[in-house]
Amino acid sequence: MSAHQALFRSKMNKHSLRKILALENEKVNAFVAYAIELCEPESVFVGDDSDADVAYCRVQAIDHLEELQLQTNGHTVHYDGYYDQGRRKDVTKYLVPEDQHLDPNLHQMPREEGIREMENLQRGAYRGREMFVRFFCLGSTNSIFSIPCLQITDSSYVVHSEDLLYRRGYDEFMRQSHANPQFEFFSYLHCSGELDERVTSKNFEFNRVYMDYTRNCVRSVNTQYAGNTVGLKKLSLRLAIRKADREGWLAEHMFIMRVNGPKGRSTFLCGAYPSACGKTSTAMIPGENIVGDDLAYFRVIDGEFRAVNVEAGIFGIVTDVNAKDDPVIWDVLHTPGEVIFSNVLLKEGKPYWLGMDEAIPSEGKNYVSDHWTEGMLGPDGEVSTCSHKNARYTVQMKDLHNADPDWDTPNGLPVGGIIYGGRDSDTSAPVFEAYSWDHGVCTMGAMLESETTAATTGKVGVRVWNVMSNMDFLSMSVGRYIHNNLEFAKDIKRPNVFGTNYFLKKDGKYLNGKLDKAVWVKWMELRIHGDVEGLDAGYGILPKYEDLKALFRQVLDKDYSVDDYEEQFTVRIPELLAKLDRMEKIYTEKVSDTPETMMRELRAQRERLLAMRAAKGDSVKPRDL
């Protein structure tokens, strides 16, 4: 019998008490009791995997005005505070014990100091409110991939979001508790803090997100933005990367998709793309199937490199989603069923957002005001837009008509290829293949860059280094992270590795069409199975013209000219060498534990490119390879 039963009885009804005690897990009980004593809720709701408990949380979100119902049945909208529209790197920190040291590039603070500050901010934060205790699972349940998660929050919006985004996990806790009461789980304690008249977190200056990695625990306060409060999202990725390091698997910021090859063949690809590099549009290519859009775990199972979608839904940016470019998402966002919009414009029960290619009202309710009008200044004096550029939608995988039927298989899916998608206007070809796993990890993943645009930073052409699109979420040194990727699955056949760049330009115009990526992934699928040959470009293998010409006709029903091919796949040696210069500087000056394999691959790449330049000049057409 739990030592905390008297406390639980004082806060829970008999149904919640029965559910918490049935787990017979003292670690769970202790964390729940700690949250009750610290945050002082009026009552405590404990949810299991039942549809009734899930429905209760959704109803509470609406009743408490954290979500407003829309015209379409099942659709709601949630608003965050004006200054609470995204992740804040400056207040997101690791709590480090005195006897441990993390990479100095990571945001961190002494653990005891962070715990004291967080407890001061969370003390009494649930007074007069209901505390929600919910159980979820990262990865498929009843699987080697399963990571049980315990979420505690005063926000019904948070647990409603998690019901759409993750597998229900109460039964998984029950299963693992009975098998091993000391099993490892992730836990989260979130407090919305004081709310304003719009039911948004008021004290944004005291927004804090602290990760106690020694306890697999994340705590956040004075924030409602899902990236800070939905603990199983990127906050869990940081914990999972450390868990994977201990146990010999990988946690990656990657989508998973199925490419449909010749004669019914299925090939699964995973892709890491920094923001604005084409990640979602690649994962959702028409004619292919999506498995997951954001996070993947890799394990070796029965001698195969396999991946599972960590999530069960999509928390996507709604800006620029329109019927032409995003038909699958557009359909879900206009069909009855559960959808949560956030920070969009609301007018007469209908949501509107930037880039939707429809007439947008000049007034309504949005992230700025209940009575927004076009041109209205925000609290910071800046002219506001109808919806926030980071406005979001939350939907379930099962509602996507192109979801792979096996997206939730417990043993994951076999991976045929890994893609690292960068963004530059003058260097890399639209698609190219690595010579080997080590070459791909080092020169495509570890050298991944995205070129900024005026829309995002005010400066054009700044290359931002983002190792495997995971830089913001690393919980260890860059060198160790690369080492883990290099060493993973060494004894089996590993996936082919590819790079993409959809943003090559000439005279200010893109050389790629938006739909061309459908051809590039088909070429990858053929390469994985040895159906086509390639050209050695010194930094990777390029497609042959005749293969792309056939694919453009087959996939897009369009002609593909020799001139387009020559422009897109020219080997631009000075630019490729300049990228090597940038990377060698980073890996010798900023990364203290760079693996020798990384430096060896950089040297070999430089030697190949220099030899090619000596023989063929600075700019080498593919016909000359």
Total count of residues recorded for the chain = 625
With contact defined as beta carbons under 8 Å apart, do 142 and 178 qualify? no
Q: How far is Cα 485 from Cα 238, in angstroms, rounded to an integer?
A: 16
Beta partners for 420? 272, 499
Q: Which two tokens stand for residue 529?
A: 């199975």
Angle at which helix 26-39 crosses helix 111-122, to 10 degrees, equals 60
Q: How far is Cα 366 from Cα 77, in angstroms, rounded to an integer?
A: 10
Query: Do the strands 92-96 and 208-212 form a parallel or antiparallel pair, or are they unpaired?
Result: parallel
Which of 502, 331, 366 minimizes the C-alpha distance to 422?
Answer: 502
With contact defined as beta carbons under 8 Å apart, do 529 and 264 qualify? no
* Active site residues per annotation: 277
User: Which spans in 539-622 are helix H?
Assistant: 545-551, 562-568, 573-589, 596-616
With contact defined as beta carbons under 8 Å apart, do 32 and 61 qualify? no
With contact defined as beta carbons under 8 Å apart, do 376 and 368 qualify? yes
Q: Is 348 exposed, middle or buried (0-12, 13-18, 19+ CB in 10 A)?
A: exposed
Going through 12-111 in order, the beta strands assigned E by DSSP cover 43-46, 68-69, 75-78, 92-96, 108-110
Phi, psi of 325 (to 5 degrees): -85, -25
Q: How far is Cα 416 from Cα 267, in angstroms, rounded to an integer?
A: 6
Q: What is the CA radius of gyration of the chain?
A: 25
